[in-house]
Amino acid sequence: MKRIKLTVAYDGTDYCGWQVQPNGITVEEVLNRKLSELTGEKITVIGASRTDSGVHAQGNVAVFDSDTSIPPERIAYALNRKLPEDIVVIRSEEVPLDWHPRYQDTVKTYEYHILNREMPDPVRRRDTYFVSYPLDLDKMRSAAEYLKGEHDFKSFCNIRTDVEDTVRTIYDLDIMREGSLITVRIRGNGFLYNMVRIIVGTLLRVGRGFYTPEKVKEILDAKERTAAGVTAPPQGLVLVKIEYPAGG
């Protein structure tokens, strides 16, 4: 028996998120089915990050255990021949049997992509959030400074969050513009349910002039979801990568 780690990219548009659920097809469900076909075993993957419906990934991580004779580094190639075009295994490798993608320290990087121009682009409708009104990026960057570091992000998580500890650390939060594309890149030690999308929704309120940058500190201190902006839609969000500083 060996444990195989997969680095997985996917376009989440047509999936009901990562985690298996009864009301629609998910990325995890497809991986389980295709890995079972490939190995001839009953395979159930363990994922590192349970992305929501419509959210994309360039570097989510999952593991599974198998007795397959296929070399670990070749599983990605064999599996990709079976997977649909919107799911790709970037890399496969063997890890220790006790290595778990969730029960250790990680650094996660997300990007949120905003198409900011007068008219929408049908080509980018699946991977950007279209915003037609002007945005003041300098004010958004000033607001983002209040979110860096260790804070209680209770105001920036969905009310259905079932975790007791809502303290997280944001290492970097950058807002960049190239032409009509605005990218919000955020790197931290973990994220609460809908946290990145609520941060983006709040920063957009700042960019439009509805909130001052200083308002973001008030929202943090309130520790109340209703104090923050709306949750930005899922299609602009991408899980870029998950880093394991201790190895793996």
Residues with active-site annotation? 52
Residue with token string 């929408």: 120
Q: Are 241 and 90 in contact (CB under 8 A)?
A: no
Q: How far apart are CA 41 and CA 33, in angstroms?
A: 10
Q: Which CA distances in Å does 97 have to 65, 80, 220, 222? A: 8, 24, 40, 43
Rounded distance, CA 240 to CA 172, Å?
Answer: 14
How many CB atoms sit inside 10 A of residue 60's CB?
28
What DSSP letter does each residue of 35-90 carry, written as one string?
HHHHHSS----EES--PPTT-EEEEEEEEEEE---S-GGGHHHHHHTTS-TTEEEE
Pairing of strands 107-116, 129-131: parallel
User: What are the Cα distances from residue 211, in Å, to 76, 80, 112, 204, 229?
Assistant: 47, 46, 20, 9, 9
Which H or E run contains 140? helix 137-145
Q: What is the dihedral of CA 219, 224, 229, 231, to 10 degrees?
A: 140
Spatial distance between the Cα atoms of 61 and 107, rounded to a whole number of angstroms: 12
